[in-house]
Structure 1
């Protein structure tokens, strides 16, 4: 008996053996830093979304979306599902214990009974069943590690959905502000066109303006009315888009948009090294998936070795229910078994080859994710630098266009220039005012996309310390 217990202890100790290959993170196939002209900083911390977005109304919308958005809810439930799967796989390491109770009564007819009379037999039992597969070569632990990594990958997928949600809410909100501003610009331009039409109509009645000039003035008014209807539609559709992202009716937004010239977002840190990409959820998700595939190789290797299972049962049995637990009614059984793979027609080798191919595929996907992330950040850094110049130039052009319009209007009223010159000045001013709004919107969206590309936006306040996820 002592020798048997010693053997079991040795087998259990050997259960720590693992055939999972040592994991080595693939080298990032990108440069150490971006070509922005800034020296790489040793700090890679990013601010949370509450600190990045300065508009209180936008902060309120983001908080509502994080609470109610259905896509984020599905991603969170997927994490819980993978947590449960990991719990199932983790339980395989431990012995399985069940308690069963059985009872039966049987009547035998006289011709089947030993005697000449019919008889009734009874049997009752209470049993504790124990079964345990000894994980000598790490098959079960490899599958447990695979399930753990898949759970962690699903959590990073949830973070990715959250970051995308924060960015989408911000971009939709800024688009609504821009369309609202464009609507206001169009309303003011329409008023100007209508005043010019009234002036041209009076000049036409006294024979100063031609019918061509009157037709041009009417055309300008109708064109502005077309744009007015278009921007009213855009504003309404922007609100509908916000409602879909929030998962509930959007709160009442102000009738007049906030000025896009205000400081709407914080400045994203410059000079960050490319290692900051490792905190992006899609990169972490790809790495966890790579680790899961790496663990599956250990399980595929362990399948080549014997599997040993221990099954035992013990309890009490009696033909009388009252005597089920009386002295002498005890019984037990112990059934160890071993399964040694001999001939599987190459199935085990094919399974191992498949796992290794999937790992190589996952490595390529991981490297591709890093390259995509690097490009997104590089594009965002270039956009940030160039949009500053573009918006500044567009505002300078606006000042020039306003001077041109004032001069053309004065010269038209005094009869020096024709209406064609005034119409050209009006159209140019309208287009430039639109350009100022759309360029500012593009600048804000590029800042949000850069913040998203760097992996920001998945926490509200200060960044938490590097976590060790708990399953």
Structure 2
């Protein structure tokens, strides 16, 4: 490589060439793939669900195409307790803190890469004392020489073919990916808190229903024992009722375990330890089932889903990396300069006659690398193809999630309607069989069957109620959760460019820094 520092007249044409080529950016310009125009959630349009004759969760739900999603969609359940828990989770959950830190890191790396567009300036100062041999210098004694020097060094790599700009584009896309990973964390967390509250309500209602059935069976056992003492029935009927009662009681501990474990899961979402449970209670009657549900247009879903936007950012990053790989195969330009002073005494620095300077420009063109750069470019192209396939798969999954939620809402409404009818029929049958059994008109086995049938229908009805709430939550989650209508992303995650940043005193002093890095639980 030829040094052109001794030919200053060549630097002007080189600088002009760099300026002329500075607008060139090699590699493909990113464009988001379009969703097929005929893509939709289903062949049939669902506009409303069935209605069940029950207060909690029985309302019909209307599906409104193109309706916007509120940023705090969980408030549609009209539960102040639930709203408070969701807000607490967004403040205290460790996953949110981790995602915010990842976004902050990604943004700071963008600013770090942007610094490559600017010259770098370094200051150097040195003082050297050296004793030289007088024999080699033809002097009668060996003198001691002192040399002091100070200089400013400037280096700059013009982004002639846009490789640096493509790298910045790549890291910016990575920051975009982390941005939507944070939104995905928000969405998953809020949906988990709501679903956990629904599970708590379902478990609590199942416990209450089971306790009611236990009381019913206990009262019936008292009647049978009284009849046995009078000799009206034999021991067999009493023992059978005791068995049925014990079996029903045996179903209570698993429900209580489920209730306790669900509460522990809720504490984890809230960033609390299990012993920090404050007794927040839910039942299905305390949760309002939203009666108007949004159904986003198919063309809008790719812009709303955080996972799709994350996949799009990864595709954008892969596209930019192709440009970086292509730029690495082209000539690399650099300009360096130095201005300073060298003197025998530090007090004489920058005095007349001590000034020194240098200016150099260089061009480096890879000629033979055994195909390494070409294969890295091909690898970048293959990575883009992989990201494109994953993006398409994510979009298909997004449509599938919405379609599944819509179908579940329809099926849940029909199922609850039938479960309510079945429960009321089972209750009426139980009342009738109890009355007939007291009169001796039916055998005990008929009463036992009626009790078991009623027990099963009550628990099935509670589960069907909870399913409507859960699948309503799933629809909000499948549609993206309305993050575009929220402004609760911590501004600190954006970072800020600081072109003259230096370490703080706390970062320099180890004792102060140790306390800063100690994690708080």
- Corresponding residue of 1:45: 68
Other structure's SS at 1:366 match: helix
Partner residue in 1 for 2:447: 422
1:194 correspondence with 2:218: yes
What are the within-5 Å matches in structure 2 for residues 150-299 of structure 1? 150-249=174-273, 251-254=277-280, 257-260=282-285, 262-265=287-290, 267-270=292-295, 272-299=297-324
Aligned residues: 466
SS in 1 for 2:78: coil
2:391 corresponds in structure 1 to 366
Separation (CA, whole Å) in 1 of partners of 2:280 and 2:93: 23
SS at match of 1:449: helix
Unaligned segments of structure 2, at least 5 residues:
1-7, 48-62, 497-521
Structure 2 distance, partners of 1:371, 1:276, is: 11
Residues 345, 312 of structure 1: alpha-carbon distance in 2 compared, 3 angstrom cutoff? same
What is the TM-score normalised by the length of structure 1? 0.93
How far apart are residue 252 of structure 1 and its match?
2.2
Aligned counterpart, 1:434: 459
Q: 1:125 aligned to 2:149?
A: yes
Paired position in structure 1 for 2:510: none
On the 8 A contact 1:31/1:274 being kept in 2, the answer is: no
- 1:317 deviates by 1.4
Instruction: Report the counterpart of residue 17 of structure 1 in structure 2.
Output: 24
Listed as ranges, the matches of 1:343-354 within 5 Å are 343-354=368-379
* Conserved? CA contact 1:190–1:224, under 8 Å: yes
Counterpart pick for 2:107 among 83, 99, 102 = 83
Distance 1:110 1:461 in 2: 79
Residue matched to 1:98: 122
Counterpart Cα distance in 2 of 1:215 and 1:128: 99
| 1:170 shift after superposition | 0.7
Are residue 336 (structure 1) and residue 361 (structure 2) matched?
yes
Structure 1 stretches lacking a partner, 5+ long: none
**Structure 1, 205-214 or 150-159: larger mean CA deviation:** 205-214
SS of residue matched to 2:410:
helix
Q: CA deviation at 1:268?
A: 2.1
- Residue 91 (structure 2) pairs with residue 67 (structure 1): yes
The CA deviation at 1:258 is 2.9
Give the 3-state SS of the residue equivalent to 2:157 in structure 1: strand
Please provide the CA RMSD for this pair: 2.4
Q: How far apart are 1:4 and its partner, in Å?
A: 3.9
Task: Select the residue among 446, 458, 477 that pairs with 1:452.
Answer: 477
Alignment of 1:398-413 (within 5 A): 398-413=423-438
* Aligned partner (choices 327, 330, 335) of residue 310 of structure 1: 335
Give 1:470 deviation, angstroms.
9.3
Cα distance change on mapping 1:351 and 1:462 into 2, 3 Å? closer
- Kindly indicate whether the alpha-carbon contact (under 8 Å) linking 1:131 and 1:312 is maintained by their aligned counterparts in 2: yes
In the superposition, relative to structure 1, how do residues 52 and 319 fare at CA in structure 2: closer, same or farther (>3 Å)?
farther
Distance of aligned partners of 1:30 and 1:170 in 2 relative to their CA distance in 1, 3 Å threshold: farther
